[in-house]
Each structure stands twice: as C-alpha cells, then as structure tokens.
Structure 1
Amino acid sequence: MRADSGEARLLPWTAADGKPCYLLGGGAGTVSRIADRVESAQLSMAGHLLGHAADLLADRRSTSVQVHYLACRLVESLGDVRRVAESRGRRLDESSNADEPDGR
C-alpha cells in the first residue's frame, strides 16, 4: 500500500470490524499526532502492566481469576505493542529506503 508521499502508516487502532487502519500522507497532520499519542499511551500502559504482572505473580495468594484477568490484559497489551513495533518498523524501512539512491 503506497501513497504519493510514502508508505501508508499502520495506525495503533483497528476499525470496528477488527481490520487494520492506515494513514496516507507525510505524517505531520492531526491524525498522525493523535496516533503518536495513542502509541505512547499504549507503550506506557504496557510498562505499568508488566510491573503489575510481576507483583501479582510474586504473590502466592493470587487467585486463578486474578491471573486469568492479568493474562487477558497482557494479551491485549502485547497486541498493541506489536502493532506499534510493526508500524514503526515499516516507517524505519521507508526512511532507510528513501535514503538510497535508487529509492528502493
């Protein structure tokens, strides 16, 4: 998927049907800034969740319901972080390719 100004950016959210959302353009607009803030919040929440997971798993009194809930949140967070990494990786590849003389 290409736009005149470069690759389409994978956004950090999905459509209502679960399909990925993309942004075409140079990345300096309002939607791009919102996506940057959402990615930052997702990464921050992942860090907090990891800390909570360490505490919960270290506590031998944690119930199976608590651990199951934690596992569900970790799966959600891992999906968010994976999407952020994929999006940023694509943009890094794009900027690396733009620096090459033949544009590839």
Structure 2
Amino acid sequence: MSYDPDNPQLPGSALRLLPWATPSGKPCFLSTDNAYGFLSLKADAREAEQMRDAAAVLADAEEVLDDPAAGPLTLRVTLKRTSAALGDVLRVADSRGGRLPAPDDADEDELP
C-alpha cells in the first residue's frame, strides 16, 4: 500500500483515512463520530501495530547501515522494508491530521 502525498486528509475531515486499502489498492475511509466503534478501534490497533513495526524496521536499518560488510541484496531488502514502513507512518500521520479540528478562520488571519 502506498501513500499519496497529493491527496492529504485536511483537518476537520468528515472521513477517517483507514490504515488499509481495498484489494485494488485504493484508500478506505470511515465515516463515523464514534471513536470507540468496532472499525475505529480496529483501525487504532492497526495504526499502533504499524508504528511499532516502523520502529523495529528503523532499528534494523540502522544495524545494516552500520555494517560495512552488508551487501547489495541486504541493503536493497532493508531499503524496501524501510520504504514500506515510512509509507505506513505517513498514512497514519495523514489520518491523524484529518482528525484534528478544522482551524478557525480567525486563526488563519494571524499566520505570518
């Protein structure tokens, strides 16, 4: 599943970007005000799992990069795993950003 930086969730979005995609790779969204519903809790658990996985992948990547004997295949596999984990983390960040409250118009006027 890849992350699409050209279509970010905007704060105050009515839909929640879910941490999984359709079988054809399209994003899935949830429309609910219930943060404790079955799908919301399942999505929260999946996001937490993705964040833990990303931390483990980062630790592995650091080990491989510190190993001067790491060959091209090891580096390529490590980069593939790191790239996938980064995509998951960006998707989680995008989803959580969409769940922030929309900024007030008055707040936008105060920006430099």
Alignment correspondent of 2:96: 88
Q: Which structure shows the higher strand fraction? A: 1
Question: Do residues 20 (structure 1) and 8 (structure 2) align?
Answer: no
- Over 4 Å off, 4+ runs: none
- Using the size of structure 2 for normalisation, the TM-score is 0.77
1:52-90 residue CA offsets vs partner (Å, 9 max, x unmatched): 101111001111101100111111111100100000001
- Using the size of structure 1 for normalisation, the TM-score is 0.82
Structure 1 runs not aligned, ≥5 long:
1-5
Structure 2 runs not aligned, ≥5 long:
1-12, 105-112
| Number of equivalent positions | 92
What's the % identity of the aligned pairs? 37
Q: Which structure shows the higher helix fraction? A: 1
In 2: Cα distance, 1:61 partner to 1:18 partner: 37
In 2: Cα distance, 1:96 partner to 1:22 partner: 18
Amino acid in the other structure paired with 1:48 = A
How much is the aligned-residue C-alpha RMSD, in angstroms?
1.5
